[in-house]
Amino acid sequence: MAKIKKRRFIILKVVVALLVIVLLLISPIVKYLVEKYDVKYIGREITLSAAYVNPFNGYIHFSNFKMYELDSDSIFFSAEGLSGNLALRKIFSETYEIHDLTLDRPRGVIIQNKGDLNFNDIIELFAAKEDIDSTKVPIHFSILNIKVNDGEFHYHEELIPISYFIKQVNMESTGLLWNADTITVKYSFASGIGSGDMNGDFTINKETLDYRYAAVANKFDLQIIEQYLKDLTNYGNFSASIDADIKSTGNFNDSENISATGMLAINDFHFGKNPEEDYASFDKFRVLITQLSPNNHKYLFDTISLTQPYFNYERYDYLDNMQTIFGEGGSNVTAAASGTAKFNLILEIADYVKLLARNFFESDYKINRLAITDGDLRFNDYSISEKFTIGLNPLSVVADSIDKNHKRVRLSFKSGIKPYGSASIALSINPKDSGDFDMQYAFKELPATMFNPYIVSQTSYPLDRGTIELHGTWNVRNSRIKSDNHLVIIDPRVTKKVRNKDTGWIPVPLIMTFVRERGNVIDYEIPITGNLSDPKFHLRDVVFDLLENIFVKPATTPYRLQVNTIERDIEKSLTLSWPLRSSTILPAQEKFIKRMADFLRKNPEASITVSPQQYALKEKEYLLLFEAKKKYYLESHKQTTKSLSEDDSLKISKMSAKDSSFVQYLNKHVKDSMLFTIQGKCTALLKSGLVDTKFKQLNEEREDLFLSYFLTEEVEKQVKISKAENVIPYNGYSFYKIKYEGDLPEALIKAYQELNELNEEKPRDKFKEDRKEQRKNSKKGI
C-alpha cells in the first residue's frame, strides 16, 4: 500500500509539474506560433510583446498586438491590449465562441485607392467558399460582448486625396451570434481633425439589411468636407460644424426606405477664397424634423431656419467668383460626377438629398416655421471699368405654416438696400400650384447715382441726382398674369459727359427732355399681362407721356428752369460737390463760394462750419486706376513723372482700364493667379501706401482751394473745417457740407421760400414728401 501511495504521489507530482510547465510555456509557445505561422495562414506579419493563455478557462490576452500591411512594414492595426475568452467546451460541438472580446487603445488605418482597400485580402481570406462540402457539419462562429476602449482609426483615400481620423473611440456591442441575425452597437468618438464628438447606437439585421440608429453630434467638425471640395474646386477654404439628434429606421437596399425624426444643425459655415475672405457663410442652419419618410410621402418639418446668411457674388472680366472656383459652367463638378473611379462625399450627399426630395411637391409636406434672419447678400461687378456694388442687408424672409393642405401660404421678404434704399415683397401662393399667387413689391429710395457705373459705360453721361422707386402688384391665376407696375424717378439730373474710350454714347440730356415730366420726375405705369412663360409689357402710358412731353412740356419750360435754378442755388449754398479724383471747381461753384465769402465779410457775427464728406471708397478706386495706368503709360512711352504733361494726364484719364495693352502689362507684372480683378492687380502693381498718400494730397488741395477764397476776403477765421467723414454719399460724389451759424444768406432764405411754394403747386406737390426724404438722404452718408 505504501508503494502504491508513493506511485500515486509521484504521478500527481508529475501531472502537477506538467501542468505548471504547460502554464509556464503555453503563453510563449502561443506567441511563438502566432509570429511564426502568421504569414502562412493570414498572409500578414503579426508581432506581440507578450501573450497570456489560460488553457483551463480559455482566456487569451495579447499585449502590444501589431498587424502589418500586406508585404509592408507599415502597421495596419495595433492594440495595446487584445483579450477574450474562448468557450473551450463548445469547440467539440463545432462551435467557436469568443466572448468578452476587448480591444484596449486600438489603432487602425484604412487606405483606399479607387475600388481597392488595404484589407481586401483579409476579406477574401474569411469569405465563404463556394465549394464547401455540404455533408459536413457546419462550423458555428460567434463573437459576443465586444468592447473597444479609447481607439483611433485613420482613413486615407489616395486618389483625391483624403486624410481623416477619429479618436477616443469607445464601442460596446452584444456581438454576432451564429444563429442570430441582429447586431447592436453602442458607440462614441471625437473628431480627430478639429473639435466635437458624436455618440449613439446602431442596430442592423445582417440578412435583410434593415437598420435602426440614433445619433447625437455636438459641434462635430466637418473639415473633412474641405478635402473632398478640393476635388471639385480650383481653390477655396471651408469650415463648419454639425449638431444633430437624429433617430431613424431604414434599409440599406432601398435609399428611400427611411423614416427619420429629430434635429439637424450646421454651425459657423464658411466657404470662400481663403480663411479671411468668404464668398458664402452663415451662423446656423437648423432643421427640426417631425417626420421624414419619402416612401410614405411624408415631409413634415417643425422648423427650417437660417441665421445670418452671407453671400458675395462677384463678376469679373472672365467668369465670376463661383465659376473661378468650380470651373466654367461648373465643369469641375461635372467632371468629378462623371468619374467612376472616385468616391466624393459631397456628391454622394447631394445625390442622396436630391433623391429624398424628388417627390416633395407630390407628397404631404408641412413646415410650421420657415425663417431667414439678418441676411447679407452682396453683388460686385468688376466686368465694367468702374466697380459696381450693391447689397441686401439686413435681409429677412418669414413664412407662416407651409402646408400642402392649406389654401394659401404667405411669405414676407424685407431688406435694406446698401448703400441706400429698401425692398419688400409680400407673397401669397397656392402650395399646390406655383402658377397661382399674389404678390406686392416695393423698392424705395434708391439713389439713381448708384447705377452710374452702368449708366456711364453705356451712355457716357453720369447722374448726380435722382431717386428711384418701383412698386407693383401681381395677381396670377393658372399662370395668367394681371400686373400693375409703377416706376418713379424723382429729380433725375444728368451731369457733365465722361470722355473715356471704353464708354458708349447715348444722348441722355436729349432723352431726358422727352422722358421727364413737368414736375421733374419720370413717372410711368407699366401693366403686364399674358402668362408666366410669355409676359406682355404694355407701354401705352410711356408712349402717351412721351407725346405729352413733346407737345405740352415746352410751354412749361420757364417754370422748370425756375425750379432748377432755385434747387441749384440751395444746393450750392449748402454743399460743394467735388468731381472724382479732382480738386477743381466749376465757374458756377466759384461764384457761390465768392458770394459766401462776401456774406461773411458783411456779417462778421456769422460763421460757417464745413464738414468734408469723403467718398473714399470710390475716390481711391479712381486714384488706383489712374496711378496704375500712369505707370504703364510712362514705361510704354519711356517717360518720367517729371516729363508728364497735362495732355499726357488727359490721355491717361481717357484710357480704358480694360485696354488690352494695359491688361497685358498688368498680367506680365502681376503673377498672382488669385487676383481676378483689374483693381486687385493694380493694387499689387503699385507701391504700398501710394493711393492713400495721393488721396490725402487730393483732400489737402481741395481744402486749400476752398479756403483761398475766404483768405482773399480776410474772413478765414469765420470758417471752421471739421474732421472729414468717410461716407457713401447719396448723390455719388465727395462734398463739403456747409452749416451756417447765425444769420442765413438772404438769397438762401429766399430760395427756400420759393422752392417750398413751388413744391406745394402742381405737378410737384404729388412728390413733396419724397423730395423731403431725398434732401435728407443727400445730406448723410453711411
Confidence grade of residue 128 (pLDDT, cut at 50, 70, 90): low
State the cell numbers at 570: 440751395
Which positions ≥6 away from 760 have C-beta within 8 Å? 768
**The residue to which cell 483579409 is assigned:** 122
The number of CA neighbours under 13 Å toward the Cβ of 775 is: 14
State the cell numbers at 293: 419618410
Lowest mean pLDDT among 182-186, 473-477, 755-759: 755-759
The closest alpha carbon to 308, from 370, 406, 376, belongs to: 376
Confidence grade of residue 531 (pLDDT, cut at 50, 70, 90): very high
Lowest mean pLDDT among 43-52, 200-209, 281-290, 546-555: 546-555
Cα separation, 588 vs 573, whole angstroms: 11
Q: Say what the pLDDT of residue 381 is.
A: 96
Lowest mean pLDDT among 137-146, 160-169, 467-476: 137-146
Which positions ≥6 away from 3 have C-beta within 8 Å? none
State the cell numbers at 296: 410614405
Look at residue 759 and tell me whether its pLDDT is greater than 70: no
**E-only strand ranges, 419-498:** 422-430, 433-447, 463-477, 480-494
**What pairing do the DSSP bridges indicate for beta strands 607-614 and 237-251?**
unpaired
State the cell numbers at 681: 492687380
155 within 8 A of 166, measured Cβ to Cβ: no
The number of CA neighbours under 13 Å toward the Cβ of 542 is: 9
Cα separation, 262 vs 302, whole angstroms: 10
Q: Say what the pLDDT of residue 773 is.
A: 56
State the cell numbers at 7: 506511485
Look at residue 549 and tell me whether its pLDDT is greater than 80: no
Please name the amino acid found at residue 357: A
For residue 678, with 0-12 CB atoms within 10 Å meaning exposed, 13-18 middle and 19 or more buried, which class applies?
buried
- Determine if residue 326 is left, alpha or beta; phi over 0 gives left, psi from -120 to 50 gives alpha, anything else beta: alpha
State the cell numbers at 636: 510704354
Give me the residues paired with residue 437 across strands: 429, 476
Element (H, E) at 121: helix 120-126
- Rounded mean pLDDT, 287-308: 94
* 717-752 pLDDT per residue, tens: 988 999 999 999 888 889 888 887 765 555 544 444
15-40: burial string, b at 16+ Cβ within 10 Å, e else: eeeeeeeeeeeebeebbeebeeebee
pTM, rounded to two decimals: 0.85
Helices 646-654 and 616-636, packing angle to 10 deg: 110
Q: Say what the pLDDT of residue 450 is.
A: 92
Q: Can you give the residue ranges of every domain in the chain? A: 8-120+138-180, 401-551, 572-778
653 within 8 A of 579, measured Cβ to Cβ: no
Helices 616-636 and 678-685, packing angle to 10 deg: 70
Q: Say what the pLDDT of residue 756 is.
A: 46
**What pairing do the DSSP bridges indicate for beta strands 480-494 and 528-531?**
antiparallel
Element (H, E) at 700: helix 690-712
- Distances in whole angstroms, Cα of residue 136 to Cα of each of 131, 132, 139, 140, 776: 12, 9, 9, 12, 97
- Rounded mean pLDDT, 125-151: 74
Confidence grade of residue 16 (pLDDT, cut at 50, 70, 90): low
Cα separation, 447 vs 420, whole angstroms: 7
**Cα Dmax for the chain:** 152
Q: Say what the pLDDT of residue 103 is.
A: 95
Confidence grade of residue 755 (pLDDT, cut at 50, 70, 90): very low
The closest alpha carbon to 299, from 307, 309, 288, belongs to: 288
- Rounded mean pLDDT, 573-601: 82
Cα separation, 245 vs 265, whole angstroms: 9
- Rounded mean pLDDT, 393-401: 92
Give me the residues paired with residue 291 across strands: 300
Phi and psi of 384, rounded to 5°?
Answer: -105, 170
Element (H, E) at 251: strand 237-251
Mean of pLDDT over the chain: 85
Greater pLDDT, 590 or 272 = 272
Q: Say what the pLDDT of residue 343 is.
A: 81
Greater pLDDT, 138 or 436 = 436
Q: Say what the pLDDT of residue 498 is.
A: 80
State the cell numbers at 201: 447606437
Give me the residues paired with residue 79 across strands: 65, 106
Greater pLDDT, 338 or 243 = 243
Q: Say what the pLDDT of residue 370 is.
A: 93
Q: Say what the pLDDT of residue 9 is.
A: 67
Cα separation, 317 vs 303, whole angstroms: 41
Look at residue 559 and tell me whether its pLDDT is greater than 60: no
